């Protein structure tokens, strides 16, 4: 029987962590025989420093984070006779958003972005392990948004591009081209940063800046 602690011990040196999971039988979106799906995400602090020291980052070829994720997670999958699944490089395109919610560790936030129990509004997944054995998982927590009295995410966007009504991409895009929008470009989305869980997650501004540049080209 595979213990969750054994998988976590393999992930820790790479600043990755299990960010949720669930037992599954006969799920058509998963490889045949999958008994447990584990979602993997960056463990902060330290993930970004680890990544930028990797050969995939230094070779200056496209998609360094995806290539690093594939190499590391495939190695770990092999160690546990599991199959590695990724939110990139499809088809097939796997439903990571639905899996995150099914895990009980992530929810739709008031601004309709995914919010995670540890990552906050910086929720992201580098891959998943589809295991042929049942792994015992901890009891999921309650949604943090229910206990968040102020809900700063609802008012953090300077141009109200992210609200409970959804995401106004043209408004966001236009704002990022202005001088006022450089705070978001250099430090990450103001809405994502406003979440108390995001602040506790200790994601570096330079990591957010990289992702903002990839998003807004």
Confidence band for 146, pLDDT divided at 50, 70 and 90 = very high
In angstroms, the Cα distances linking 50 to 15, 73, 113 are: 7, 14, 27
| Sequence-separated (6 or more) residues with CB below 8 Å from residue 16 | 40, 41, 42, 43, 47, 72, 73, 126
25 pLDDT more than 90: no
First to last CA, the chain: 47
What confidence score (pLDDT) does residue 26 get? 78
4-8, 49-53, 90-94, 117-121, range with the lowest pLDDT: 90-94
What confidence score (pLDDT) does residue 210 get? 95
Instruction: List pLDDT tens digits, range 105-141.
Output: 999 999 999 999 999 999 999 999 999 999 999 999 9
Nearest Cα to Cα of residue 121 among 162, 180, 64, 63: 162
100 pLDDT more than 90: yes
Confidence band for 74, pLDDT divided at 50, 70 and 90 = very high
Q: Calculate mean pLDDT across residues 185-206.
A: 96
Instruction: List pLDDT tens digits, range 161-195.
Output: 999 999 999 999 999 999 999 999 999 999 999 99
Are the beta carbons of 198 and 121 closer than 8 angstroms? yes
Q: Calculate mean pLDDT across residues 66-95.
A: 96
Q: What is the pTM for the complete model shown?
A: 0.95
Give domain limits for the chain: 4-215
| Distance from the Cα of residue 91 to its chain's centroid | 20
Q: Calculate mean pLDDT across residues 189-212.
A: 96
> Tell me, what DSSP letter sits at residue 26?
S
Backbone φ and ψ of 166, nearest 5°: 125, -160
Burial of 187 (0-12, 13-18, 19+ CB in 10 A): middle
- 4-11 vs 64-79: helix crossing angle, rounded to 10: 140
Computed over every residue of the chain, the mean pLDDT equals: 96
88 pLDDT more than 90: yes
4 pLDDT more than 90: yes
What torsion do the CA atoms of 164, 109, 119, 7 make, to the nearest 10 degrees?
A: -150
- Angle CA 9–208–10, to nearest 5: 10
Are the beta carbons of 135 and 3 closer than 8 angstroms? yes
Confidence band for 217, pLDDT divided at 50, 70 and 90 = confident
Give the Cα separation of 49 and 205 in Å (integer).
12
């Amino acid at each position: 029987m595979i213990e969750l602690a054994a998988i976590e011990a393999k992930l820790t040196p790479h600043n990755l962590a299990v960010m949720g999971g669930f037992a599954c039988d006969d799920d058509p979106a998963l490889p045949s025989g999958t008994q447990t799906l584990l979602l993997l995400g960056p463990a902060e602090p330290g993930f970004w420093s680890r990544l930028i020291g990797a050969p995939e980052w230094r070779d200056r070829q496209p998609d360094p984070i995806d290539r690093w994720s594939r190499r590391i997670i495939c190695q770990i999958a092999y160690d546990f006779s599991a199959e590695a699944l990724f939110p990139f490089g499809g088809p097939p395109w796997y439903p990571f958003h639905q899996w995150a919610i099914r895990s009980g560790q992530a929810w739709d936030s008031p601004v309709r972005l995914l919010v995670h129990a540890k990552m906050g509004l910086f929720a992201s997944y580098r891959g998943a392990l589809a295991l042929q054995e049942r792994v015992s998982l901890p009891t999921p927590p309650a949604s943090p948004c229910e206990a968040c009295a102020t809900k700063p995410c609802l008012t953090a966007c300077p141009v109200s591009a992210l609200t409970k009504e959804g995401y106004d991409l043209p408004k966001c895009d236009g704002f990022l081209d202005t001088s006022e929008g450089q705070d978001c470009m250099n430090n990450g989305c103001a809405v994502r940063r406003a979440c108390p869980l995001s602040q506790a997650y200790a994601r570096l501004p330079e990591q957010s800046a990289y992702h903002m540049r990839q998003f807004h080209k």
